[in-house]
């Protein structure tokens, strides 16, 4: 019986992964996991909700871009993620799995596939569960596209761009980049084990504050049922 699990959580930028995990820690303390911290080539971002910058070693390991080209592929999974580079420290992952039963990692779908493949080939003793957060269901996206005379890609771009603007943590060019990649990420997310529709993204701070809104509660409960 497999007791060790790696949970990969993916979704477009600003879809609400961070608020979901924070809500889980408050409302489901009995579900214990440890987060795997990634390395990234971008600089720390100022978080609007608390006016504090992301912390090195807690949110990401913020490393010089040139350092990623020197990483040994036997020990790191490295990928271009939108306009930055991210990496997974495989030795750190192995160390965490030796001490904990559930390791959770927020990943872009590109790295999500790479980690899934690596786990299958190198750690078949560990179960991998992939969960994707989408701002709307496929049917909702298609319905809006038909109603507005636009493509599904245009609908997703507009939705995520509006969310990113409301979040107010990214420069205009970063907002464009993140919104432009959202449709491709949603398509890749269709291959995941579970898809949770989450219309309350990181821009909806009030809905993730206690007491949680009905939508935030639903998303949290769906996520908890998968982890439990």
From 119, 46, 48, select the one nearest 77 (Cα to Cα): 119
Residue with tokens 């070693």: 57
Residue 153 lies in a domain: yes
Where residue 215 sits, what CATH number does that domain have? 3.40.50.300
Q: Are strands 34-35 and 194-197 parallel, antiparallel or unpaired?
A: unpaired
On whether residue 45 sits in a domain, the answer given is no
Q: Tell me the whole-structure pTM to 2 decimals.
A: 0.95
Q: How many Cα neighbours within 13 Å face the side chain of 13?
A: 23
Rounded distance between C-alpha atoms, residue 221 and residue 228, angstroms: 10
User: According to the model, what pLDDT value does residue 49 have?
Assistant: 74
Q: Is residue 18 part of a domain?
A: yes
Tell me whether residue 80 is in a domain. no
Write out pLDDT tens, residues 173-200.
999 999 999 999 999 999 999 999 999 9
Total domains in the chain come to: 1
Does the residue 73 lie in any domain?
Answer: no
Check residue 2 and give its pLDDT.
61
- Tell me: pLDDT of 201 over 80: yes
* Residue in 115, 112, 155 with CA at minimum distance from that of residue 131: 112
For the chain, percent of residues with pLDDT exceeding 70: 99
61 part of a folded domain: no
76-107, pLDDT tens digit by residue?
Answer: 999 999 999 999 999 999 999 999 999 999 99
Is the residue at 64 inside a domain?
Answer: no
DSSP 57-115: TTTBEE--GGGGGG--TTTEEEEEETTEEEEEEHHHHHHHHHH-SEEEEE--HHHHHHH
- Domain of residue 128 covers 5-36+101-227
Reported confidence tier of residue 213, pLDDT bands at 50, 70, 90: very high
pLDDT of 1 over the 50 cut: no
pLDDT tens-digit map of 22-63: 999 999 999 999 999 999 999 998 887 778 999 999 999 999
In which band, very low, low, confident or very high, does the pLDDT at 5 lie, cut at 50, 70 and 90?
A: very high
Q: Average pLDDT, stretch 125-131?
A: 97
């Amino acid at each position: 019986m497999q007791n060790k699990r790696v949970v990969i959580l993916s979704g477009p930028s600003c879809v609400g992964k961070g608020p979901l995990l924070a809500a889980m820690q408050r409302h489901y303390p009995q579900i214990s996991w440890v987060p795997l911290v990634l390395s990234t080539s971008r600089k720390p971002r100022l978080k609007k909700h608390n006016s504090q910058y992301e912390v090195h070693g807690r949110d990401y390991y913020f490393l010089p871009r040139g350092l990623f080209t020197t990483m040994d592929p036997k020990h790191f999974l490295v990928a271009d993620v939108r306009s930055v580079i991210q990496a997974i420290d495989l030795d750190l992952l192995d160390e965490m799995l030796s001490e904990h039963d559930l390791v959770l990692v927020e990943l872009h779908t590109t790295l999500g596939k790479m980690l899934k493949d690596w786990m299958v080939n190198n750690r078949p003793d560990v179960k991998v569960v992939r969960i994707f957060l989408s701002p709307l269901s496929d049917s909702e996206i298609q319905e809006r596209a038909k109603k507005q005379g636009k493509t599904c890609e245009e609908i997703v771009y507009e939705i995520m761009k509006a969310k990113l603007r409301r979040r107010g943590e990214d420069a205009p060019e970063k907002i464009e980049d993140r919104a432009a990649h959202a449709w491709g990420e949603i398509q890749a997310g269709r291959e995941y084990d579970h898809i949770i529709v989450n219309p309350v993204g990181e821009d909806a701070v009030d809905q993730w504050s206690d007491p949680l809104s009905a939508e935030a509660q639903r998303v949290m409960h769906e996520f908890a049922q998968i982890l439990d």
